C-alpha cells in the first residue's frame, strides 16, 4: 500500500492512493473504510470516496501527529485478501440513434461501426467506484480504451434523464435531466435514484454493472413499469 | 398553545428565493449535495432573535423583489444582506422582530449591500422534510425555487406577545472585509511556488457567475497543474481549471469534482464570502 494522508483542516482529512483507476485501489479503499468505521465510529461524521481518495469529515479535531498515527494504523491493519462480495447488475439500455444522438459521430471518430461500439460498450463489465456529480450518478471504471473520447468542448444544455454516455475515459448514466459534455450513446429506462427510499440507489460501491442492449419496444415497456414504480433491478 | 397551519402567499417571488435550513447530511455518498443556507451566520442570528431552534428553516432571498402576504399572525425577523424592507409600505429594519397580522404584506425592494437576505419566522417553515432536511434542492425536494403565486406553510401560534420596544442592533458591516481565510487544499503543493505566491498576493474580483453552487472569480491564474481523478469536494473547496479560472464551491456544490482543489475556505469566511456580490474584491490568506 502506498497511501498518503493530507490534512486540510482539523476536521477534514484525505487519504490518497496513487493516481490510477484500479480494482486494487478500490479494494483497499473499502478495507480502510471499514476499518476506520469500526475503529473510529464516533469520531467520523462522513467518509466519501473518489477514484484514488477517501475523504474523512470528522466530529473531533485532530492534529498532524494524529494523522501520522492513523496512517501508521492503516498500514498495519490486518489485510483481507480476495475480493468483497459483489453483485453484477444488469442495466437495460436502448442503443438506438434516437437516444444515442452521438453514436454516428463516435463511430466516425473511432473508425468503428455503430454495432461495434454497442458490442464493445455492452460486453464490458464495469465496476462502481462511487457516486457523485449528480444524485445517483455512478462513477464506473472499466471502459474499453477503444471508446475513450474527449469530452465535448461545449456541454449540451440538456441531457435527458437516463442518457448513457461516454466522456473521456469514463462511461455513465445521467440519473436526472442535466447539462452535460459527454457523448450520448443510448438511454436506460430504469429509475436510478429515488429519494423517497432510505437508501436512494440500488448498486453498492464495489458492485458490477453490465449493460444489456434492448429494443425500442422493450424500452417503452420497462419505462412504463418504471414510471409506475413496478420495475425491479436484476443481478446475477 | 394552539398552532394553526397558515400560508405565506408570494405575489412576487423575488430572485433565487428558497426555503433552507442547515442542510442535508449523510446523503453525499449517494451524490446528494449538502445544500442549506448560503450564510449560516445570518440564519442563526434570525433564529436566535426569534428564540427558534438554531436549525429551524428560513426564507433565503438572493436579490430584491419578493412580495408576500401572510394569512395569519406570526413574528418574523430579517438578517443578512442590507436591504430595503417594507411592512405594509412602511420601511422596517433588519434585526427587529416584526409582529405580523392577518393580511399583512412584506415587500423586499432594493439590496444595498450583500447577496443573501434571510427572513426567519416563529417556529420555522413547515415545508416538506426530505432526507431529514427542509433545504430546497432541484430533484430532491418538490420545489427548488419560489415561483410567482406559490404558498409556503408556517404555524401560526395563538399566544400573547409582549410588545417589544427594542430590537437587536445589527452590525451590517460584518461581511465588509475582503480577507478570506483558507487552508491548503489537497493539490496546493503541486503548484509551483511562483503560482502559489501569485494566488496569495492577488486581489480577486467576484464575477457575475454567482449562484448557490459556486462563485467564480474574474481574474485567471496561468497554470499547468495536472488534472486529477474525480475526488470529493465540499462547500468551500476552491478549484482551479486548466484555463486558470478559480471557482469557489458553495452550499449546493456537487459532491465530487475533477479540477485540482487548491484551497479550502474556512467556515466563517465562507459566510462572509457568500455575502459578496459581483464586482466585490477578495483576497486569500492562509
Cβ separation B30–A6 shorter than 8 A: no
Instruction: Identify which of A6, A20, A137 has the shortest CB distance to residue B31.
Output: A137
Closest chain B residue by Cα to residue A199: B30
- Report DSSP letters for B118-164, one per residue: EEEETT-B-PPPBTTB----TTTSS-SS--TT-EEEEEEE--PPPP-
pLDDT, one tens digit per residue, over A197-220 is 999 999 999 999 999 999 999 999
Is the distance from CB of A48 to CB of A36 less than 8 angstroms? no
Q: Is A113 left (phi over 0), alpha (psi -120 to 50) or beta?
A: beta
In a mutational test of the A interface, the residue from B128, B136, B186 whose CB has the highest number of chain A CBs within 10 Å is B186
Instruction: Identify which of B131, B140, B230 has the shortest CB distance to residue A50.
Output: B230
Give residue limits of the domains in chain A: 4-75, 88-235
Residues of B in contact with A200 (CB under 8 A): 27, 30, 32, 131
Closest chain B residue by Cα to residue A19: B229
Angle at A191 (CA atoms; ends A189, A193), nearest 5 degrees: 150
Instruction: Identify which of B30, B185, B228 has the shortest CB distance to residue A135.
Output: B30
Predicted confidence band at B229 (pLDDT cuts at 50, 70, 90)?
very high
Is the distance from CB of B66 to CB of B10 less than 8 angstroms? yes
Starting at the earlier edge strand, list the strands of the sheet with A4-9: A4-9, A12-16, A53-58, A44-49
Q: Is the per-residue pLDDT at B167 higher than 70?
A: no
State the first-to-last Cα distance of chain A, in angstroms, to the nearest integer: 32
Q: Is the per-residue pLDDT at B163 higher than 70?
A: no
Please tell me the predicted confidence (pLDDT) of residue B86. 98
State the first-to-last Cα distance of chain B, in angstroms, to the nearest integer: 50
DSSP 8-state code for residue B187: T
Quick check: ipTM above 0.85? yes
Q: How far apart are CA B107 and CA B194, in angstroms?
A: 50
**A81 CB near a chain B CB, below 8 Å?**
no
Which residues, other chains included, contact A25 with Cβ-Cβ below 8 Å and sequence gap of 6+? A17, A18, A51, A52
Closest chain A C-alpha to B78 CA, distance in angstroms: 31
Q: How far apart are CA A201 and CA A137, in angstroms?
A: 9
In a mutational test of the A interface, the residue from B30, B131, B133, B258 whose CB has the highest number of chain A CBs within 10 Å is B30
Cβ separation B232–A136 shorter than 8 A: no
Residues of A in contact with B238 (CB under 8 A): none
Nine-digit cell at A46?
462522513
Closest chain A C-alpha to B141 CA, distance in angstroms: 9
Nine-digit cell at B234?
465540499
Strand partners, B179: B283
Rg (CA), chain A: 20
Beta strands in chain A (DSSP E): 4-9, 12-16, 44-49, 53-58, 88-93, 126-131, 138-141, 156-159, 163-167, 170-173, 178-180, 183-187, 208-213, 234-235
- A36 burial via Cβ count (<10 Å: 0-12, 13-18, 19+): buried
Residues of B in contact with A62 (CB under 8 A): none
Please state, in angstroms and as integers, the Cα–Cα distance from residue A100 to each residue in A79, A124, A153, B54, B188, following that order: 44, 18, 18, 49, 39
Cβ separation B232–A9 shorter than 8 A: no
Predicted confidence band at A135 (pLDDT cuts at 50, 70, 90)?
very high
Q: How far apart are CA A182 and CA A171, in angstroms?
A: 9
Could you tell me the maximum CA-CA distance found in chain A, to the nearest angstrom? 61
Cβ separation A16–B25 shorter than 8 A: no
Asked if the A88-235 domain carries CATH number 3.65.10.10, the reply is no
H/E stretch holding B111:
strand B105-121
pLDDT, one tens digit per residue, over B58-99 is 999 999 999 999 999 999 999 999 999 999 999 999 999 999
Among B60, B62, B117, smallest CA distance to B85 is for: B117
Cβ separation B31–A131 shorter than 8 A: yes
Nine-digit cell at A118?
454497442
Among A70, A65, A147, A63, smallest CA distance to A102 is for: A147
Q: Which of residues 143-202 of A touch B (CB under 8 A)?
A: 175-176, 193, 195, 199-201
Cβ separation A130–B32 shorter than 8 A: no
Rg (CA), chain B: 20
| B159 against B48, higher pLDDT | B48
Which residues, other chains included, contact A38 with Cβ-Cβ below 8 Å and sequence gap of 6+? none
Cβ separation A45–B231 shorter than 8 A: no
Please tell me the predicted confidence (pLDDT) of residue B111. 97
Asked if the A4-75 domain carries CATH number 3.90.550.10, the reply is no
Predicted confidence band at B176 (pLDDT cuts at 50, 70, 90)?
confident
Instruction: Identify which of A20, A51, A135 has the shortest CB distance to residue B31.
Output: A135
Amino acid at each position: 500500500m502506498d497511501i498518503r494522508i493530507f490534512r486540510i483542516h482539523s476536521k477534514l482529512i484525505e487519504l490518497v492512493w496513487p493516481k490510477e483507476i484500479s480494482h486494487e485501489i478500490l479494494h483497499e479503499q473499502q478495507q480502510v473504510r471499514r476499518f476506520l468505521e469500526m475503529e473510529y465510529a464516533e469520531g467520523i461524521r462522513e467518509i466519501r470516496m473518489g477514484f484514488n481518495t477517501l475523504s474523512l469529515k470528522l466530529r473531533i479535531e485532530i492534529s498532524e501527529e494524529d494523522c501520522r498515527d492513523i496512517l501508521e494504523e492503516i498500514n498495519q491493519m490486518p489485510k483481507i485478501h480476495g475480493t468483497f462480495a459483489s453483485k453484477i447488475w444488469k442495466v437495460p439500455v436502448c442503443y438506438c440513434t434516437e437516444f444515442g444522438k452521438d453514436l454516428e459521430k463516435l463511430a466516425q471518430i473511432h473508425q468503428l461501426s455503430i454495432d461495434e461500439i454497442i458490442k464493445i460498450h455492452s460486453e464490458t463489465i464495469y465496476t462502481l467506484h462511487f457516486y457523485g456529480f449528480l444524485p445517483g450518478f455512478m462513477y464506473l471504471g472499466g471502459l474499453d480504451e477503444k471508446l475513450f473520447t474527449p469530452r465535448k468542448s461545449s456541454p449540451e444544455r440538456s441531457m435527458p434523464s437516463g442518457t448513457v454516455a461516454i466522456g473521456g475515459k469514463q462511461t455513465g448514466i445521467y440519473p436526472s435531466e442535466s447539462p452535460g459534455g459527454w457523448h450520448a450513446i443510448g438511454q436506460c429506462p430504469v429509475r436510478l435514484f429515488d429519494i423517497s427510499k432510505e437508501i436512494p440507489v440500488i448498486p453498492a460501491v464495489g458492485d458490477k454493472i453490465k449493460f444489456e442492449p434492448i429494443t425500442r419496444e422493450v424500452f417503452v415497456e420497462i419505462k412504463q413499469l418504471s414510471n409506475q414504480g413496478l420495475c425491479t433491478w436484476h443481478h446475477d | 398553545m394552539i398552532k394553526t397551519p397558515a400560508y405565506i402567499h408570494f405575489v412576487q417571488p423575488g430572485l433565487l428565493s428558497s426555503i433552507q435550513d442547515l442542510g442535508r447530511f449523510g446523503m453525499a455518498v449517494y451524490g446528494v449535495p449538502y445544500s442549506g443556507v448560503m450564510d449560516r451566520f445570518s440564519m442563526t442570528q434570525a433564529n436566535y432573535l426569534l428564540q427558534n431552534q438554531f436549525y429551524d428553516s428560513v426564507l433565503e432571498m438572493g436579490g430584491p423583489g419578493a412580495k408576500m402576504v401572510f394569512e395569519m399572525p406570526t413574528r418574523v425577523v430579517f438578517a443578512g444582506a442590507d436591504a430595503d424592507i417594507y411592512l405594509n409600505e412602511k420601511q422596517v429594519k433588519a434585526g427587529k422582530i416584526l409582529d405580523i397580522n392577518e393580511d399583512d404584506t412584506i415587500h423586499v425592494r432594493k439590496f444595498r449591500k450583500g447577496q443573501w437576505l434571510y427572513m426567519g419566522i416563529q417556529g420555522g417553515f413547515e415545508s416538506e422534510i426530505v432526507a431529514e432536511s427542509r433545504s430546497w434542492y432541484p430533484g430532491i425536494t418538490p420545489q427548488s425555487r419560489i415561483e410567482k403565486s406559490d404558498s409556503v406553510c408556517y404555524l401560526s401560534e395563538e399566544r400573547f406577545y409582549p410588545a417589544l420596544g427594542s430590537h437587536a442592533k445589527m452590525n451590517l458591516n460584518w461581511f465588509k472585509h475582503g480577507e478570506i481565510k483558507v487552508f491548503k487544499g489537497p493539490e496546493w503543493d503541486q503548484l509551483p511556488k511562483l503560482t502559489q505566491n501569485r494566488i496569495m498576493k492577488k486581489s480577486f474580483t467576484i464575477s457575475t457567475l454567482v449562484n448557490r453552487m459556486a462563485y467564480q472569480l474574474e481574474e485567471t491564474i496561468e497554470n499547468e497543474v495536472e488534472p486529477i481523478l474525480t475526488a470529493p469536494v465540499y462547500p468551500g473547496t476552491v478549484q482551479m481549471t486548466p484555463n486558470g479560472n478559480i471557482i469557489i464551491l458553495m452550499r449546493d456544490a456537487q459532491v465530487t469534482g475533477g479540477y485540482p482543489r487548491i484551497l479550502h475556505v474556512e467556515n466563517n469566511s465562507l459566510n462572509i464570502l457568500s455575502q459578496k456580490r459581483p464586482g466585490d474584491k477578495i483576497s486569500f490568506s492562509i
